[in-house]
Amino acid sequence: MKAVIVGAGMGGMSAAIALEQLGFEVEVYEQVTENKPVGAAISVWSNGVKCLNHLGLEKETAEIGGILDSMSYVDGFTGDTMCRFSMQPLIDEVGQRPYPIARAELQQMLMDAYGFDDIHFGKEMVAVRSDENRATVEFADGTTDSGDIVIGADGARSLAREYVLGGPVARRYAGYVNFNGLVEVDEKIGPATEWTTYVGDSRRVSVMPVAGNRFYFFFDVPMPEGVPFERGTAREVLAAEFADWAPGVQTLIAELDPATTNRVEILDLDPFDIWVKGRVAVLGDAAHNTTPDIGQGGCSAMEDAVALQFAFRDHPDDPIAALDAYQAARTERAGDLVLRARKRSDVTHGKDPEKTAAWYDELRSEDGTNIIRGIVGNIVGGPLT
Ligand code: FAD
């Protein structure tokens, strides 16, 4: 059985490893010419870590993962702690520690596990099609490749999705912009093993540890879509946006590197339940583009990869049945995560200011129980539950 995978992001690479474990011949094609992930880091929640462990990467993942022992919310203006609690109850309940991980390191780990030199870089898919016996990809350089299946792991602006759905679909602007990057750990911002989130005025400023004594940081700022931004100016923009915020936030703004700080307009896509057309299937953001508000987009892509493996394990000689089983296993779960993230995003970013104010009040009397229950609700339900 041969699989052609388009897109060497965390979804495509996880799928490549998962299918190789089943003995597939796998070819991975990626449009960029070098491995340069967009964005600084992600939180790989316990469900994502379980998938990486399943792909044989338990030791490697633990090595590049940050240690997250506790979580806190802080009043963005006063710097007063609203609530602080241990992550241990979550780890005990789901049986796996989560790991925030720098994207470059996650990507490198996955690429090395598959075989970096076996990835075909600089190959842009321009068309895909399926017929009775094969699925075929055409590249911008005029070449083609075909296999028993094609997996479109080509991200949020997926061309494979257009093929599967029969046309383009419009993504939705979530109403806010996310600035993110990496800084050295500084306990003036937050404790070294804590996920600290400053909130106020429908905004959020967060730091969480990744390996190498670094914090992954992000700022969420509600604003209209399309506001111009010049790369390198993040410090000035954030200093103006957060001028009256607490000292920890000012320290972060002073210490971040504007040259490497990313700015992303956050969009998502209404869930859809057709992921397969003939021998072509979508996976990862191509299939479920979510806001990052519950940190599950990448984890969900990893779940897709494991579910795809299970589908072919159960239907080893029948790609059509296997892809059907993959679709049946994933659409509801992935769509649920998209909608959960959207709901969380609306509360965090002041879609209804009264609900946001009520959430701030809840945080002041929270002992961690409700927040952990919510996170566990996101984590469970995947192929490895
Ligand atoms: P991508 O990573 O987008 O990879 C797609 C690949 O396909 C790219 O390399 C692209 O170059 C390639 N490609 C595209 N088109 C073509 C083509 N025509 N031909 C060839 N190659 C092509 N998720 C989490 O789990 N936890 C988090 O904490 C988290 N935080 C996030 C924070 C932000 C600000 C954002 C924006 C997202 C966050 N996510 C998080 C989501 C996560 O980044 C995505 O879900 C994940 O990257 C999806 O992986 P993917 O492989 O499907 O797509």
Tens-digit pLDDT string for the chain (385 aa): 999 999 999 999 999 999 999 999 999 999 999 887 778 999 999 999 999 999 999 999 999 999 999 999 999 999 999 999 999 999 999 999 999 999 999 999 999 999 999 999 999 999 999 999 999 999 999 999 999 999 999 999 999 999 999 999 999 999 999 999 999 999 999 999 999 999 999 999 999 999 999 999 999 999 999 999 999 999 999 999 999 999 999 999 999 999 999 999 999 999 999 999 999 999 999 999 999 999 999 999 999 999 999 999 999 999 999 999 999 999 999 999 999 999 999 999 999 999 999 999 999 999 999 999 999 999 999 999 8
Cα of 189 from ligand 1 centre, angstroms: 28
CA distance 147 to 122: 20
Residue 358 tokens read as 């009520």
CA distance 319 to 241: 52
Which of 10, 46, 126, 348 most suits a substitution to test ligand 1, by most atoms within 8 Å of the C-beta?
Answer: 10
The interaxial angle of helices 10-21 and 297-314, nearest 10 deg, is 20
- Return the residue matching tokens 């397969």: 276
Cα of 10 from ligand 1 centre, angstroms: 7
CA distance 308 to 16: 10
Q: 382 CB less than 6 Å from ligand 1?
A: no
Closest ligand 1 atom to 139 CA: 19
Closest ligand 1 atom to 154 CA: 7
Cα of 87 from ligand 1 centre, angstroms: 27
Distant-in-sequence, close-in-space partners of 196: CB < 8 Å, separation ≥ 6: 71, 72, 74, 189, 190, 206, 207, 208, 248
Cα of 306 from ligand 1 centre, angstroms: 17
Which of 5, 17, 29, 31 most suits a substitution to test ligand 1, by most atoms within 8 Å of the C-beta?
Answer: 31
CA distance 320 to 317: 9
Burial of 67 (0-12, 13-18, 19+ CB in 10 A): middle
Q: 321 CB less than 6 Å from ligand 1?
A: no
Q: 32 CB less than 6 Å from ligand 1?
A: yes
CA distance 248 to 81: 12
Closest CA to 205 of 175, 236, 246: 246
**Predicted pLDDT of residue 36:** 78
pTM of the model: 0.98
Interface confidence, given as ipTM, is 0.99
**Predicted pLDDT of residue 364:** 98
CA distance 68 to 195: 7
